[in-house]
Amino acid sequence: MTTRKPKIPKDGQRVSLSMLAEYLDLSPATVSFVLNNVPGRSIPPVTRERVKAAARKFGYRPNLIARSLQGCATRTIGVLLPELGEGYHAGVMSGVGELLMKEGYFYFTAHHRHRPDLIEEYPRMLMARGVDGILAIDTKLPAKMPLPTVSVAGHATIADVTNVMLDHHKAAQLALGHLHELGHRRIAFMQGQPFSSDSQSRWRATLLVARSLGLEVTPELTIKLDQDMTSPELGYPGITQLLQKHRNFTAVLCFNDISAIGAIRALHDGGLSVPGDVSVLGFDDIQSASYHVPSLTTIRQPLNSIGSTAASLLLRKLAGEALPAIVKIAPELMVRESTATAAKR
Amino acid sequence: MTTRKPKIPKDGQRVSLSMLAEYLDLSPATVSFVLNNVPGRSIPPVTRERVKAAARKFGYRPNLIARSLQGCATRTIGVLLPELGEGYHAGVMSGVGELLMKEGYFYFTAHHRHRPDLIEEYPRMLMARGVDGILAIDTKLPAKMPLPTVSVAGHATIADVTNVMLDHHKAAQLALGHLHELGHRRIAFMQGQPFSSDSQSRWRATLLVARSLGLEVTPELTIKLDQDMTSPELGYPGITQLLQKHRNFTAVLCFNDISAIGAIRALHDGGLSVPGDVSVLGFDDIQSASYHVPSLTTIRQPLNSIGSTAASLLLRKLAGEALPAIVKIAPELMVRESTATAAKR
DNA sequence: TACTGCAAGACAATCGTTTGTCTTACATAA
DNA sequence: TTATGTAAGACAAACGATTGTCTTGCAGTA
């Protein structure tokens, strides 16, 4: 009676490397060498073919879990973001996911609602699950990351973390330049919520460019957003309150398209026409921007390419490449109906 | 000279179970028993405390990869969907992600653009990565799934796969009931794209309810959508073409809000006012629906709770619970500005 | 003949857990 | 005194790969 190993060569279900090896009367090592095309191992073509044929026959697929345990790359990325299902993040994620899947990577998504404890905890949990690297979107990262990391719209400069961000200075130039050309001089501004990463850099760029164009930024005409929401309601109350005091502005530079839609609504409800009385400039170019009535003039953030750029940078970092600290993405001015020549009032 | 094991008790980095065990002068097994609270093992409280203290001290975290290899549950789900960053899917994903993270699960997202080869391939790849189950959103699944599966808006009834779907009959009743009450009798319909899962069931329900209300559904007033896009452009050309032949309809029942926005735009461009001349009814209740001008009357799909319901069902299935084949989610009519009493024309 | 070299592949350690079975050593009971 | 029971923990075999080192046998060479 021959000694029977516990493994059965062929099965109804999943085949392991050793089952395959036993079936082929080879050692698991040899099979592994063939299937992975390991160089420097001499295995005759006959055997190679036999192995490959058997692998095909049984539909063998390496168990990635086992492979990971060896310390191999898992081809898995952890993505950190504040929120799911919202315009900006969804747009970036679309680019991220597209590129990662194309490159044969899978990814975990973890959302943290800006909670510092979760932001601290998730990288460790992702590490325990063996991700190769982390992609953080609009996230206030801790000073030290345990894994190779690339951030999108990062809140701070962190050692060894490449930050992909919009070129805010250029964005401000496009936005204010456009309004200035149309003759607007009294402009209302929206300042983003303090927890949103872009707020500060964008506001700084706005002030800088406004000064260079000789445009005044006054506190009375500045709306400070503070609610953590992703509906147009965001932009409504600020404009409504503003209208109760001042009606002498001719344009509003909104923080984003969502708030611009709310702003238009508020102006409309306040009896003002857009762009007849007031021009409204959005930011982001979300999908419905071009189909809104009036369609939104806006600064387009190429969310998809921001996402794919970030993902591609992370993969390059994983491959050992040295990366710059900051990569800026150029915005684009989309002129539509919500802006027009300044009304003479 | 004592025999030194290769493992160093404390390190700058990651501590493994065996390092911890060596440091404590215990076997890895014992440490594992304590940390996992395995019942039926007698370990004195003193030792238990010692172990826990050391684990805290070194910030020990079990390597989930290694644990998975044992065949334990990975607390990981694979999510299959056609597309990223689009309203419906993003909304559902938001509910899915919320519930899964709350329950301590992580998830992979894989998008397939309705490509059958990818739909076939991804479940296997996810399985190789050790997911416990699969959640498929708007996906034409193969007849047999290799893992416990729950689907959202599934295209077909599949053995052992619970399908979470909108109650389309109720939705049609709400939509047509509303238009009927407002006096609309000549209604234009949009029929969804054939590859979209909801199209068929919704169209059937629409026909059924229309008949029961005595409303006529004519081919001339039926727009068949066929483009795979997620921008309002979807609804524009159909209405434009319709207007060239027939202008005697008083309402449009759109396939979704996105196409409704396009439809309103097309009606507007065609010189018709909404809702003055034509009422427009959307479907989905996307975020910008309420801030559109005019704001959209629509059938709200509670996307978040569809997602969280599906996720929760999957977890229950993983726990061994038997599930019904279909779970219906009730829609809701959101009456806003885009519908009004039928114009007398 | 004896040695060298290489092709072809086996063997075994390893990754970090989990988990079934064994071993001590002491305490209690007969 | 001897048997028995049990607490406390060690040991080792998995899980499914990867990978460095060894073995075997044969061909070619000095």
Q: What is the pLDDT of residue A246?
A: 87
Q: What is the mean pLDDT of chain B?
A: 91
Distance A31 CA to D21 C1' (A): 18
Q: What is the pLDDT of residue A4?
A: 34
Q: What is the pLDDT of residue B287?
A: 74
DSSP-H helix ranges across B37-153 = 45-58, 64-69, 87-102, 116-128
Whether residues A232 and B291 touch (CB distance < 8 A) is answered with yes
The pLDDT of residue A9 is above 60: no
Residues 318-337 of B with CB under 7 A from strand C: none
Which residues in chain A touch residue B266, judged by CB atoms under 8 angstroms apart?
none
Q: Which tops the pLDDT comparison, A11 or A151?
A: A151
B39 touches strand D (CB under 7 A): no
How many Cβ pairs within 8 Å bridge chains A and B? 138
Whether residues B128 and A62 touch (CB distance < 8 A) is answered with yes
Q: What value does the mean pLDDT take over residues B177-202?
A: 92
Residue pair B136/B193 in contact by the 8 Å Cβ criterion = no
B71 touches strand D (CB under 7 A): yes
Q: What value does the mean pLDDT take over residues B324-344?
A: 94
Q: Kindly calculate the radius of gyration of chain B based on its CA atoms and give it in whole angstroms.
A: 27
Whose C1' is closest to the CA of A31: which nucleotide?
A: C9
| Closest in B69, B94, B232 to A84, CB measured | B94
Other beta carbons within 10 Å of B5: 11
Whether residues B108 and A108 touch (CB distance < 8 A) is answered with yes
Least confident of A8-17, A105-114, B29-38, B200-209: A8-17
Q: What value does the mean pLDDT take over residues A7-32?
A: 81
How far is Cα A65 from Cα B27, in angstroms, rounded to an integer?
25
Q: What is the DSSP letter of B146?
A: S
Instruction: Give the tens place of pLDDT for each residue, A307-340.
Output: 999 999 999 999 999 999 999 999 999 999 999 9
Q: What is the mean pLDDT of chain A?
A: 91
Q: What is the pLDDT of residue A345?
A: 56
DSSP per-residue codes, B200-260: HHHHHHHHHHHHHHT----GGGEEE------SGGGGHHHHHHHHHH-----EEE-SSHHHH
Distance A31 CA to D16 C1' (A): 13
Q: What value does the mean pLDDT take over residues B213-237?
A: 91
Q: What is the pLDDT of residue B5?
A: 40
Q: What is the pLDDT of residue B8?
A: 44
Instruction: Give the tens place of pLDDT for each residue, A274-308.
Output: 999 999 999 988 877 887 878 899 999 999 999 99
How far is Cα B345 from Cα B340, in angstroms, rounded to an integer?
14
- Lateral strand order in the sheet of B326-329: A326-329, A162-166, A149-152, A133-137, A76-81, A106-111, B106-111, B76-81, B133-137, B149-152, B162-166, B326-329
Instruction: Give the tens place of pLDDT for each residue, A181-195.
Output: 999 999 999 999 987
Which residues in chain A touch residue B132, judged by CB atoms under 8 angstroms apart?
none
B29 touches strand D (CB under 7 A): yes
Percent of chain B scored above 70 by pLDDT? 96
Residue pair B295/B260 in contact by the 8 Å Cβ criterion = no
CA distance B208 to chain A (A): 32
The pLDDT of residue B343 is above 80: no
The pLDDT of residue B323 is above 60: yes
Instruction: Give the tens place of pLDDT for each residue, A27-60.
Output: 999 999 999 999 888 899 999 999 999 999 999 9
Q: What value does the mean pLDDT take over residues B54-81?
A: 94
- Please name the residues in contact with A207: beta carbons below 8 A apart, sequence gap of 6 or more: A217
Q: What is the pLDDT of residue A198?
A: 79
Q: Which amino acid is at B70?
A: Q
Q: What is the bridge-based pairing of β-strands A187-191 and A251-253?
A: parallel
Q: What is the pLDDT of residue A232?
A: 80
Q: In this structure, what token pair is assigned to residue A26?
A: 């080879």
B158 SS3 class: coil
Q: What is the DSSP letter of A219?
A: G
Looking at chain B, which residue has its C-alpha nearest residue A79? Answer: B108
Q: What is the bridge-based pairing of β-strands A222-224 and A251-253?
A: unpaired
Q: What value does the mean pLDDT take over residues A224-234?
A: 85
A297 touches strand D (CB under 7 A): no
B63 touches strand D (CB under 7 A): no
How far is Cα B254 from Cα B263, in angstroms, rounded to an integer?
8
The pLDDT of residue A8 is above 60: no
- Lateral strand order in the sheet of A222-224: A222-224, A187-191, A251-253, A279-284, A297-300, A332-334
DSSP per-residue codes, A151-193: EES-SS--TT-EEEEE-HHHHHHHHHHHHHHTT--SEEEEE--
How far is Cα B280 from Cα B292, in angstroms, rounded to an integer?
12
The predicted model scores a pTM of 0.87
The pLDDT of residue A343 is above 80: no
Instruction: Give the tens place of pLDDT for each residue, B86-102.
Output: 778 999 999 999 999 99
Q: What is the pLDDT of residue A5?
A: 40
Q: What is the pLDDT of residue B231?
A: 77
Whether residues A128 and B64 touch (CB distance < 8 A) is answered with yes
Q: What is the bridge-based pairing of β-strands B297-300 and B332-334?
A: antiparallel
Element (H or E) spanning A241, and its range?
helix A236-245
Strand C bases, protein C-beta under 7 A: 6-12, 14-20
Q: What are the C-alpha distances in Å from B124 to residues A108, A150, A254, B160? A: 17, 29, 46, 18
Which residues in chain A touch residue B84, judged by CB atoms under 8 angstroms apart?
90, 93-94, 97-98
Which residues in chain A touch residue B287, judged by CB atoms under 8 angstroms apart?
230-232, 258
Distance A33 CA to C16 C1' (A): 24
In the block, residue with structure tokens 């150029």:
A330
Which residues in chain A touch residue B129, judged by CB atoms under 8 angstroms apart?
64-65, 76, 106
Percent of chain A scored above 70 by pLDDT? 96
Instruction: Give the tens place of pLDDT for each residue, A200-220.
Output: 889 999 999 999 999 999 999
The pLDDT of residue B174 is above 50: yes
Q: What is the pLDDT of residue B345?
A: 56
Residue pair B135/B314 in contact by the 8 Å Cβ criterion = yes
Q: What is the pLDDT of residue A6?
A: 39
Q: What is the pLDDT of residue B229?
A: 82
B178 SS3 class: helix
Q: Kindly calculate the radius of gyration of chain A based on its CA atoms and give it in whole angstroms.
A: 27
Q: A268-274 contacts: CB < 8 A, separation 24 or more?
A: A268/B293, A269/A240, A270/A239, A270/A240, A270/A243, A272/A243, A272/A247, A274/A338
Which residues in chain B touch residue A110, judged by CB atoms under 8 angstroms apart?
101, 106
- Residues across chain A: 345
- pLDDT class of B192 with cuts at 50, 70, 90: very high
HSE of B247 in the Cβ direction (CA atoms, 13 Å)? Answer: 11
Q: What is the pLDDT of residue A332?
A: 97
| Closest in B109, B126, B303 to A107, CB measured | B109
| Closest in B85, B101, B261 to A288, CB measured | B261
Q: Which tops the pLDDT comparison, B87 or B308?
A: B308
How far is Cα B91 from Cα B105, in angstroms, rounded to an integer?
19
DSSP strands (E only) in A271-335: 279-284, 297-300, 326-329, 332-334
The torsion angles phi and psi of B228, rounded to 5 degrees, stand at: -95, 80
The protein residue nearest C18 (Cα–C1') is B70
Q: What is the pLDDT of residue A12?
A: 56
Which residues in chain A touch residue B233, judged by CB atoms under 8 angstroms apart?
291
Q: What is the pLDDT of residue A3?
A: 34
In the block, residue with structure tokens 């990577």:
A105
Q: What value does the mean pLDDT take over residues B331-341?
A: 97
CA distance B287 to chain A (A): 6
CA distance A194 to chain B (A): 23
Q: What is the bridge-based pairing of β-strands A326-329 and B279-284?
A: unpaired
Q: Residue B44 burial (CB < 10 Å; 0-12/13-18/19+)? A: exposed
A67 touches strand D (CB under 7 A): yes
A294 SS3 class: coil
Q: Which amino acid is at B273?
A: S
Whether residues A109 and B109 touch (CB distance < 8 A) is answered with yes
The pLDDT of residue A7 is above 70: no
How far is Cα B54 from Cα A78, in angstroms, rounded to an integer?
29
